[in-house]
Structure 1
Amino acid sequence: MAKVLCVLYPDPVNGYPKEYARSSVPRISGYADGQTAPTPSGVDFTPGELLGSVSGELGLRKYLEGLGHELVVTSDKEGQDSEFDRHLPDAEIVISQPFWPAYLTAERIAKAPNLKLAVTAGIGSDHVDLDAAIKHGVTVAEVTFSNSVSVAEHVVMMILSLVRNYLPSHQWVLDGGWNIADCVSRSYDLEGMDVGTVAAGRIGTAVLRRLAPFGVRLHYTDRHRLPAEVEEELNLTFHESAQAMVPNCDVVTVNAPLHPQTQGLFDDRLLSTMRHGTYLINTARGLICDRDAIVRALESGQLAGYAGDVWYPQPAPADHRWRTMPHHGMTPHISGSSLSAQARYAAGTREILESHFTGTPVRPEYLIVDGGALAGAGAHSYSTKS
């Protein structure tokens, strides 16, 4: 019998939903690169349900207990006395989400001698110390592409909300006003602007495709250059580095994984090279941006706006400076956890578990670390400290 430790975010403050705004969600069978959507042997949930919170349990309890395994689900993940830390030494599998990450540090991995598999329900496994996972032979997997388009849609929404000054304008309505001059004094058209993405993987490319019809000039940088036909189709300008790209952009969106080369990338120095009044959107990882440098750039006007849904740590403390800085459009980490996306990443999590328990290979596109080395999607996207 295996102990499966699943860390999910808390239920809604008013209790688990008894009904939903929509009765169903569209079924997505495959993705833009030809990869199929998750294909587990079955699921024990209705797509469109809230699965990522504690009561949703990713729809796994019936499946796991039917095999005789123990499932522990908690949102208590911080501190030595947390439920996560109490159960970790006996756990064979740890599951968590980027939105409410259970940080599997080197110290925690060392205290978990039975740990064989760490699963990210979603995409982005930087909350796992990959070097430690490699050292201890822990397989790390995530449900690649399951919510990439969800995040890309969120990016486009945030770009438009900043450029068009949507949130302050909506606030005037809530406050009973009709202050048109106040609303439009920071409102511009996106058309004609230069928009660039730092990284053009699944999310970055999806963002570029969705922005192309807006009549913008598109830029990108990535350590893996896109095929020439994609560059021609979207009329993309490639830059060798973020440092080379950002001075040419009015809007920059960050869609890169967090690794040693991207941590702290957007610091005072890089921000100072950007066009005055640039908009910066970060739905990748909070640590890619220097927290205090972002605040300074907004206060000085070097940045016209900053939006994103990634923070460090997560959840962000009440006094985090990004909550109160000017001209921001921050949200909790929600871009990849729509109810539509949850159906896919919950199904993908079960698919990974089925492979683990039957001894069959996990899909290469799901693998981050396997066999003591970066593997699959991880070898393409991540680098290690060693």
Structure 2
Amino acid sequence: MAELFDVHPAPEGAPLDREALIAALQEADILVPTITDVIDAPLLGAAGDRLRLIANYGAGVDHIDVATARQRGILVSNTPGVLTEDTADMGMALMLAVLRRMTEGMAKMQEGVWEGWAPEALLGTRLGGKTLGILGMGRIGQALARRARVFGMDIHYHNRRRLHEGLEGPLEATFHERLDSMVTTADVISVNCPHTPSTFHLLNARRLKLMKPTAVIVNTSRGEVIDENALTRMLRAGELAGAGLDVYERGRGVNPRLRELPNVVLLPHMGSATREARLEMGEKVLINMQTFADGHRPPDLVVPSML
């Protein structure tokens, strides 16, 4: 990036605070934020006249007020596609970890309290033959479905629009127009939709109560899609069998009651944390920046109608 542009990097190891973000917005032609940088309407109102592109380092843009940016003549780009396979891998890993009680077994080994093999010790559940309900059948949802099919799972999904037969057919996936229908059917629910006003608490207390008490929920997308307090209450009450979470409703503010539950696997938002993904994200940012600097439309332009 420094070979192509006059770069003012943030101090290493910490996100910019709000004052530093305002200062950057006032002097930059292009801002390159990450998910930890909240670019809301008041902050955009303080932007200088030079700012014309926000080239987000990441696929999700719910931390950016895209509509306000567009109103001010500021384009927003992101990095879609490069996180697909890694995030789908993590979704499968969380399913296996919860259903096979891996973290409970690891804890016994690390604490030195394993008493040896026993017929009924740490009994989990196999994936084969179970129904996977995918909430959001975009790139990541489809990649997860392909993996789950190999494990012998039946694929069901809910999406804003039904997939074309050319995509749905090879996955042998069943479409549910009503989300209530899918959550009632599934043994595992995987959240793979973005956070938008219409998906906030899409899995609310009422819908969570429709799930089987033996069901498991996995989230590698955005924490705000699930009512985390309701999920925590149900897990504590034994009304759900378990959860594997890589994202949280309040960012780093993880509900402390979740940490206490042995049937919950918590990860620090590492679904896309591979060297390959980070490099490809950076390359996408550079392409968007250079294309814009050359006077053309960035290839990964985000528009409000996409959200």
Calculate the TM-score normalised by the size of structure 2: 0.92
2:46 aligns with one of 98, 111, 117:
111
1:368 aligns with one of 297, 302, 306:
302
The structural deviation recorded for 1:219 is 0.3
Residues 1:162 and 1:236: Cα distance change in structure 2 (over 3 Å): same
Residues 1:92 and 1:201: Cα distance change in structure 2 (over 3 Å): same
2:4 aligns with one of 41, 63, 68:
63
Residue 224 of structure 1 corresponds to: 161
The structural deviation recorded for 1:367 is 1.5
Residues 1:360 and 1:204: Cα distance change in structure 2 (over 3 Å): same
Residue 105 of structure 2 corresponds to: 169
Q: Is the 8 A contact 1:271 1:302 kept in 2?
A: no
Residues 1:223 and 1:318: Cα distance change in structure 2 (over 3 Å): closer
Q: Is the 8 A contact 1:120 1:143 kept in 2?
A: yes
**SS at 1:229's partner residue?**
helix
Q: Which amino acid aligns with 1:174?
A: Q
**Distance across 1 between alignment mates of 2:278 and 2:197:** 29
Structure 1: tracts of 5 or more residues without a match: 1-59
Kindly indicate whether residue 190 of structure 2 is the aligned counterpart of residue 253 of structure 1: yes
**Distance across 2 between alignment mates of 1:346 and 1:360:** 19
**SS at 2:77's partner residue?**
strand
- Alpha-carbon RMSD across the aligned residues, in angstroms, is 2.0
**SS at 1:353's partner residue?**
helix
Residues 1:138 and 1:325: Cα distance change in structure 2 (over 3 Å): farther
The structural deviation recorded for 1:325 is 4.3
The structural deviation recorded for 1:175 is 1.4
1:293 aligns with one of 230, 236, 245:
230
**SS at 2:134's partner residue?**
strand
The structural deviation recorded for 1:317 is 3.3
1:332 aligns with one of 246, 268, 272:
268
Q: Report the count of equivalent residues.
A: 304
- Structure 1 residues 173-182 or 326-335, which shifts more? 173-182
The structural deviation recorded for 1:319 is 6.3
Residue 41 of structure 1 corresponds to: none
* Aligned-pair identity (%): 26
Calculate the TM-score normalised by the size of structure 1: 0.74
Q: Is the 8 A contact 1:222 1:241 kept in 2?
A: no
Structure 2: tracts of 5 or more residues without a match: none
Matches within 5 A, 1:222-371: 222-314=159-251, 316-317=252-253, 320-363=256-299, 366-369=300-303
Q: Is the 8 A contact 1:253 1:282 kept in 2?
A: yes
Q: Is the 8 A contact 2:58 2:79 kept in 1?
A: yes
**Distance across 2 between alignment mates of 1:181 and 1:78:** 52
**Distance across 1 between alignment mates of 2:253 and 2:3:** 35
